[in-house]
Each structure stands twice: as structure tokens, then as C-alpha cells.
Amino acid sequence: MDAIPYSAKADDLYYPAKHAVFFPQGRPASEAALCAEMCRVAYCQQASGFAFDQERMGAVLDSIGFKIREFLESPHTPEHEGTHCFLAVGRDGQTDGELAVLAFRGTNKDDLRDVVADLKFLPQPWKGGGRVHRGFAESLAEIEPALDAALRSITGRLLITGHSLGAAMATLVASWRKPASLYTIGSPRVGDKAFLATLHGVENHRYVDCCDVVTRVPFLMGYRHLGDPYYIARDRDIRYGRNSLAILTDRLRASWAYQKQYGLEAGNLPARELADHAPINYVSAISAADSPQSPARR
């Protein structure tokens, strides 16, 4: 943890873009690190509301050679904004063609509509098959027609990503618009076994940061995760696979150590189960894996 920055600050969970310095080393070497930071960029909002801060986001993405093709936001009222995602395009380092990234914003704690969506956990039928979380499906439906039209304009490879609630919506989109890769950051469970079958063939990268409580819900009614996790351990190393006993042991040690080191400091989150959901902690660990010298390199 000494080698890779870690934040226990409440602001970094509740307002991920507030203190953010995006892409400090320029465009990341890996698509995983690119997508993780794109998820944090999606939290940029105007000072007077929940709508995207389009000027800031445009400048950030321009600095790494990407352009915003579409901002997609659901109809809003002064109190509630709803669903947010953006579509950005840049050069594809693999093909020299176009690379598109669709990134969804996660839950905004000040937006009641987001909070209600998270709580609507009863499953409902999904158009592609199986059953999914009702709140996630309803949130995506708010922008689905415009999103479908925007995705038809993509001619190159497509990456779909999101954090938290945004990761859930990214997973839903990937079931009907198959991307080159799906990168989910701190994702809850989205649907049942039959729903997961609709994602067959999708290259999937599901990142789970140590004690992140959101990645463990909902845990009833047949909800399942897609694929094995890329697990960020308490030492910030990234390990792939589903060794349940090793993960449980690591989480218990991490939670105890957090209380001693961070738990009582003003401005910090009270538990690692919350702090590990902060986008910056995913970004720092995944970005560190770009460097051959990093202990997070796998």
C-alpha cells in the first residue's frame, strides 16, 4: 500500500471528480487503466446540478487524444438528473482505427433517483433473456433509444465501462450490443444465470477492490456475477481468479488494518468496505499495473 496511493477520504467516494487530476501520465498503456479513469471522468458534474460538466470533460479527454462524440443524460428536473453516460472516440492502438469508449456514471449520493434505483433490487425479465435488477434496467431505459442510435455510429472497436451503478448498466448494454471488451469497476450483481448466458462471448474484465461492499450485493434471488474477478488485494496487487478463502482472509486483514490506520481520522470513511468502493482506489491500482516496476503488475 505504501507503493500505490490509497485514499480513505469520504470526498473521494462521494464526489469522485471533485479533487481529481485525471490522466496525470497521459493516455494509459492499458485499456483497463483507460476505462477505470474514464469511469471517474463520468462523475464530472456542473456546480449547480447533476448534469455533465461538458467543458471540463472535453478538455480532459482532448489531453489524451479522445473526443466526446455524445453526452447521454436522461430527462431531468432541478432535483433529479438520473442516468448519465458519454461516448468518446480516439485512436485504437491495436488497429490504428477508431476506438470508442462508452462510460457510465455510478450512483450520485445527492441524487435521490440514483439511490432509489439501487434499492429496486427485485428482479424483472430482461429483453435478451433471464432476469435482472429492476432499478438498473429502469435507469438504462431512460436513455436507451438515444444510446442505441449513438452506438450505431461506431465503426471501430467498442469498450464499455462503468463504476458501481454505472458498471451494472454497462453490463446490461453489453448483453445487446456486444463490445470488444467490457470493463466493470466495483460492480454489483446484475442478473441471474440465464441473463449471464446473454453475455456469452463477451471479453469481460470485472475489477473488485478488496473489501468493496457494493461488489457483494444483491446476494439473494439468484443474482450472480459475470466471470471471475480481477481482485485488488490489500497490498494493491491485482490477482485474477476466484479463490474464495484467500479473498476472505485478505479482506478480514484489510478491514482490521484500516480501522487502526484510517478509521478514526476526521474526513475519512468509517470502514474499508466503503473506502474500497472509491473510484480513485481502483484507478491507482489498475494504473500501477501499467508499470513493469509496480508490485501490482501481473
**How many CB atoms are closer than 10 A to CB 253?**
14
Grid coordinates 462523475 are at which residue?
Answer: 43
The b-or-e profile of 107-146 (16+ CB within 10 A means b, else e) is: bbeebebbeebbeebebeebeeebbbbbbbbbbbebbbee
* Position 114 pLDDT exceeds 60: no
Q: In the 8-state DSSP scheme, what is residue 216?
A: G
Among the listed ranges 61-70, 178-187, 287-296, which one has the minimum average pLDDT value? 287-296
Determine the distance from the C-alpha atom of residue 171 to the mean position of all C-alpha atoms in its chain, rounded to a whole number.
10
Residue 75, pLDDT score: 74
What integer best gives the mean pLDDT of the chain?
Answer: 91
Question: Any bridge partners for residue 229, and if so which?
Answer: 206
- Full-model pTM: 0.93
Q: What would the mean pLDDT of 116-142 be, rounded to a whole number?
A: 87
111: confidence class by pLDDT, cuts 50, 70, 90: low
Boundaries of every domain in the chain: 10-288
Which amino acid, residue 86?
F
79: confidence class by pLDDT, cuts 50, 70, 90: very low
Q: What would the mean pLDDT of 165-179 be, rounded to a whole number?
A: 97
The answer for residues whose C-beta is within 8 angstroms of residue 10's C-beta and 6 or more apart is: 267, 268, 269
* Position 252 pLDDT exceeds 60: yes
Show the cell assigned to 144: 436507451
**3 state DSSP class of 39:** helix
CATH for 10-288 is: 3.40.50.1820
Chain segment 1-55, per-residue pLDDT in tens: 447 899 999 999 999 999 999 999 999 999 999 999 999 999 999 987 789 999 9
Which amino acid, residue 221?
M
